[in-house]
Amino acid sequence: MLTTSQAAERYRPEPNGINAGETRRLPPSTVLWVLPGQGIYREGERASSLYQVQSGAVRVYRIMRNGHRHILSFYGAGEWFGLQDGDIHDDFAEAICDSQIRSVPRAGGPMPPINLLDIALSSLAIANSRQLIVARQGALERVATFVQEMSARNGGANEFELMMSRTDVADYLGLTVESVARSFTKLRTRHIVQLFGHGQRYVHILDRNRLAALST
């Protein structure tokens, strides 16, 4: 649970990245090249464009009043993000690795072939599912669900790289870094996954059944 001392580690978004003015000035369907940690849009900025990940990956998060960062979603190649209800962003979007982002101004109305309603409804479905996970599952179950999610994002591969740090995972799952590390360790010692490579960011799923059984 969140107690007092966490306000000390207030999260500060990267000051780099494009700003609102630049965004608005972009012609239709511009491609941005962004570096790890670089911002794509910021809270308070006008939400005038929609974005699609061409390559790489993005995190979208909010900062809570107590300074805590909560990651609402990760987006991978092909996925759209940046659609909001108001015309002002209430969250931040940043690359988590070298990425190409297509930016499409939302002026005038929906443009084929993208259907804004479809994007909104699928975002809604994902948000609702995540609510169940963060509200009702234990640490191990959350991490197991996360691993499956990442596998699915990699075409269902058994072996893949996590592009985000343990801190990102923790802020996504509503846990601490330590709890995430302990849950990964538990998956490893139970021979459900294997971890290797830089900072244990490569995952090899050994037992899909038991992994799926955890994400109940």
Partner DNA sequence: CGGCTTGTTGATATGTGTCAAGGCTTGTGG
Partner DNA sequence: CCACAAGCCTTGACACATATCAACAAGCCG
**Smallest distance, DNA to C-beta of residue 64, A:** 13
DSSP state letters, 101-127: EEEEE-TTS--TT--HHHHHHHHHHHH
Q: CA 21 → CA 14, 40, 83, 175, distances in Å? A: 17, 12, 18, 36
Number of residues that bind DNA (CB under 7 A): 27
Measured in whole angstroms, the distance separating CA 2 from the mean position of its chain's CA atoms is: 21
Q: How many CB atoms lie within 10 A of CB 20?
A: 16
Site string for DNA, 136-155 (x = CB under 7 A): --xxx---------------
| Residue for token pair 């910021």 | 42
Interface positions, 168-187, toward its own copies (CB under 8 A): 173-174
With CB cut-offs between 5 and 8 Å by kind, which of DNA, its own copies, none does residue 19 bind? none
Select from 30, 123, 154, 176 the one that contacts its own copies (CB under 8 A). Answer: 123
Question: Is omega for the bond preceding 105 within 30 degrees of 0, making it cis?
Answer: no
Please give the torsion angle defined by the CA atoms of residues 125, 126, 129 and 135, in that order, rounded to the nearest 10 degrees.
-130
Interface positions, 64-83, toward its own copies (CB under 8 A): 64-66, 68, 70, 72, 83
Name the nearest CA neighbour of 20 among 105, 80, 99.
105
Select from 44, 78, 138, 197 the one that contacts its own copies (CB under 8 A). Answer: 138
Return the bridge partners of 55, or none: 100
5 interacts with its own copies by CB under 8 A: no
Q: Which stretch binds DNA (CB under 7 A): 41-49, 109-117, 192-200, 208-216?
A: 192-200
The residue type at 211: L
174 interacts with DNA by CB under 7 A: yes
Q: How many CB atoms lie within 10 A of CB 189?
A: 8
Binding interface with DNA (CB under 7 A)? 1-3, 5-6, 138-140, 165-167, 174-182, 184-185, 195, 198-201
Binding interface with its own copies (CB under 8 A)? 1-2, 62, 64-66, 68, 70, 72, 83-86, 90-91, 116-118, 120-125, 127-128, 130-132, 134-138, 173-174, 216
